[in-house]
């Protein structure tokens, strides 16, 4: 089950929940906030979501990851609200018997999160202005 | 009938609000609601070509039939992650 | 700098050390102990290393990962001694500006660890016997 | 001269020990040390085709010249990770 939460992503809990004795590989992807974008200084990011639809989209991605790849589990957690530089805005955790599937599944799931979840990111700059990040049109 | 409108991200900022109620004649379709919104919120004009619209949490086509209490969401291009 | 250590891998510390404001992606790979191998029940793994040469090999892999891929950092930590099922025996942490490079670098580094580090794994079975895992001949 | 031998993994188990000292004539090469080890530890026989040997932490060829205090390591196929 995916989660949308305010505040830091509980990475250690996610890893503990992903660990299972029939798996030899866990891949954790963290998307973290960069402090520069196209030459401007980013002081923080603001995320918002259409929550019920985002949870459904992330849940669909979790399930589809399990169907497309030989993995035992896929969990996606996205942070909302303000995220300072170097902190994680999204975590994807995949556990799999073998590492190739874990890497491929994690990458695919992350691409899908960016493509298909109704979540938006605004960059806030050091001059007080802000800009929504150019994204992907939902289909 | 009344439907609920949700504005997100740029749509929220351009509309100046996060949500609204819209009264429509019985039998209205999504395209009728969008025409009303385009009239009421001219600041949304540059966004329309890029917006997806969901009805009750699913991306919907303009011909979609609305119902009392339908939830319409205006969804700019997404940028999660 | 790589580490060889007894006891659980301090994943949270490694992630905190990897986070940096110019990076948008962190990939953590954990190799975990599976409880079955070719139909036998594995109760734990035993790892040993030729420590100075293993540290040199892991350090070389960290550096070469940084040269081959557009990543800001690569850290490798390997646990030695006994490792129970579902616990991590190895961690590779890569931070990069963009996620594709982070995934590719992590995968390459992990393949290299298996191929080139003088570290050995013995499976201990529930009947009290044990077996060294067939590995890669060093070149 | 004396060199130090380190046995790892299967080599350690087959040799029945983790390390040993070996006395060799001055000017000995790695191949001379390996011949002595093959004599002293027949249980290593099935392993030799698969062993790599390091001298002072680097994989070495049989012609490598040894020195007083050289550290030789017998390295079975590796299986870290």
Which positions in chain C touch D79 (Cβ < 8 Å)? 114, 119-121, 132-136
Q: Please, what is the average pLDDT of chain D?
A: 97
Indicate if the alpha-carbon torsion angle A86, A87, A88, A93 is positive or negative.
positive
Instruction: Check residue D17 and give its pLDDT.
Output: 98
Whether A27 sits inside 8 A of C106 (CB atoms) is: yes
What share of chain B in percent tops pLDDT 90? 100
C38 Cα to chain D: minimum distance (Å): 16
Q: How confident is the model at residue C36 (pLDDT cuts 50, 70, 90)?
A: confident
Q: CB of B80 within 8 A of CB of A120?
A: yes
Chains that touch C (3 or more CB pairs under 8 A): A, D
Whether A28 sits inside 8 A of C27 (CB atoms) is: yes
ipTM score = 0.93
Judge residue A54's burial from the number of C-beta atoms within 10 Å of its C-beta, 0-12 exposed, 13-18 middle, 19 or more buried. Answer: buried
Residue with tokens 């995916």: A2
Q: Which two tokens stand for residue B58?
A: 């699913």
- Residue in D44, B70, D32, B50 with CA at minimum distance from that of residue A120: B50
- Residue in A99, A92, A111 with CA at minimum distance from that of residue A71: A99
Q: How confident is the model at residue A39 (pLDDT cuts 50, 70, 90)?
A: confident
Chains that touch A (3 or more CB pairs under 8 A): B, C
Whether C15 sits inside 8 A of A11 (CB atoms) is: yes
With a cut of 90, say whether residue C139 has pLDDT above it: no
Average pLDDT over residues C75-87: 96
Identify the structural domains of chain B with CATH numbers, from first to last. Answer: 2-75 (3.10.20.30)
Which positions in chain C touch D19 (Cβ < 8 Å)? none
- Cα–Cα distance, B44 to B33 (Å, whole number): 14
Q: For the full predicted model, state whether its pTM sits above 0.90.
A: yes
Instruction: Check residue C134 and give its pLDDT.
Output: 86
- Cα–Cα distance, B25 to B32 (Å, whole number): 9
A53 Cα to chain C: minimum distance (Å): 25
Which positions in chain C touch D52 (Cβ < 8 Å)? 137-139
Average pLDDT over residues C107-117: 98
Instruction: Check residue C38 and give its pLDDT.
Output: 83
Each residue's pLDDT tens digit, B5-61:
999 999 999 999 999 999 999 999 999 999 999 999 999 999 999 999 999 999 999
Whether C107 sits inside 8 A of A88 (CB atoms) is: no
CA C26 to chain centre: 16
């Amino acid at each position: 089950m995916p989660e949308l939460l305010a505040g830091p992503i509980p990475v250690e809990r996610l890893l503990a929940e992903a660990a299972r004795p029939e798996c030899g590989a866990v891949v954790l992807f963290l998307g973290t906030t960069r402090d520069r974008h196209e030459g401007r200084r980013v002081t923080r990011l603001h995320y918002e979501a259409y929550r019920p639809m985002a949870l459904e989209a992330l849940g669909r991605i979790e399930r589809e990851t399990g169907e497309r790849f030989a993995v035992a589990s896929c969990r996606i957690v996205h942070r909302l609200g303000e995220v300072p530089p170097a902190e994680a805005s999204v975590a994807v955790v995949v556990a799999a018997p073998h590492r190739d599937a874990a890497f491929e599944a994690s990458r695919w799931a992350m691409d899908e999160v960016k493509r298909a979840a109704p979540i938006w990111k605004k960059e806030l700059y050091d001059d007080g202005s802000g800009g929504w990040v150019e994204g992907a049109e939902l289909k | 009938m009344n439907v609920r409108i949700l504005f997100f991200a740029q749509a929220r900022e351009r509309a100046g609000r996060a949500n609204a109620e819209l009264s429509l004649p019985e039998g209205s379709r999504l395209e009728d609601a969008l025409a009303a919104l385009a009239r009421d919120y001219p600041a949304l004009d540059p966004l329309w070509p890029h917006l997806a619209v969901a009805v009750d949490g699913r991306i919907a086509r303009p011909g979609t039939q609305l119902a009392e209490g339908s939830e319409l969401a205006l969804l700019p291009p997404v940028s999660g992650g």
